[in-house]
């Protein structure tokens, strides 16, 4: 009968070892488009922060971590869900699916319904506790909180380095503005001194020319009147 075929297949899937399960290959990373436009730069010449990546599926390392949390002794709720999935793939659905799976699971493991539901709650608590722990570590990496006796994360160190570089850049900009003001003052003084020197030379030329003209006039008069 089909129902016994489904139970047989579910039992077979139930007793397959974890290491024998096939794993899906990791997706290939996207290749950059040819002739892509260069990234836009800030007024300071630095690239704008990249937009956060769009995550559409979990990484394999995270799937493996969650799988390790859901690994039991084969007589727990996770094992029961495997039997449900197997029977569901065989065509069963709805209440008859879960009832059939529970009857088969209970016959194999001896677990009753209260024990099965308690096992489900235990796995839920484990997932919640693990998420809280990972979330705390994530906030620590972002620098939102400080965990005692934990070294600063790479992101926090980069944020500190960025702050130091921004402060150094601000100081350099202040020094540059001061030097530019000093240069402007020196240029103004040089221009004034140049104008003074030009005016002085022009005044000297006038005085020299007047004196030379007077001397020449007197010499010509002397030669004209005295040398006869």
The structural domains of the chain, with segments of one domain joined by +, span 1-15+59-150
- Give the span between the Cα atoms of 76 and 118, in whole angstroms: 9
- Give the span between the Cα atoms of 106 and 51, in whole angstroms: 51
Instruction: Let me know: does 68 contact 104? Beta carbons within 8 Å.
Output: no
Helix (H) or strand (E) holding 68: helix 60-69
Q: The whole model's pTM is what?
A: 0.55
Q: What is the mean pLDDT of each run of 10 residues along the chain (228 residues)?
A: 51 47 44 51 57 84 94 92 93 94 94 95 96 92 82 86 95 96 96 96 96 94 84
Q: What is the DSSP string of 99-117?
A: HHHHHHHHHHH---HHHHH
Instruction: Let me know: does 26 contact 57? Beta carbons within 8 Å.
Output: no
Assigned token pair, 78: 């996770």
């Amino acid at each position: 009968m089909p129902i016994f075929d489904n139970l047989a297949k579910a039992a077979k899937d139930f007793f397959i070892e974890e290491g024998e399960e096939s794993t899906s290959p990791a997706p290939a990373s996207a290749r950059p488009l040819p002739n892509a436009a260069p990234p836009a730069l800030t007024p300071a010449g630095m690239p704008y922060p990249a937009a956060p990546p769009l995550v559409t599926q979990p990484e394999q390392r995270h799937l493996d971590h969650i799988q390790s949390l859901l690994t039991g002794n084969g007589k727990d709720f996770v094992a029961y869900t495997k039997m449900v999935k197997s029977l569901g793939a065989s065509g069963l659905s709805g209440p008859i699916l879960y009832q059939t799976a529970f009857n088969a699971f209970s016959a194999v493991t001896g677990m009753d319904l209260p024990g099965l539901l308690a096992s489900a709650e235990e796995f839920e608590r484990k997932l919640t506790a693990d998420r809280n722990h990972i979330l705390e570590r994530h906030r620590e990496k972002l620098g939102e909180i400080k965990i005692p006796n934990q070294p600063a994360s790479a992101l926090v160190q980069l944020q500190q380095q960025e702050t130091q570089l921004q402060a150094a850049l601000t100081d350099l900009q202040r020094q540059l503005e001061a030097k530019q003001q000093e240069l402007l003052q020196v240029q103004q003084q040089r221009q004034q001194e140049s104008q003074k020197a030009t005016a002085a030379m022009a005044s000297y030329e006038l005085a020299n020319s007047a004196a030379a003209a007077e001397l020449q006039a007197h010499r010509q008069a002397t030669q004209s009147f005295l040398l006869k």
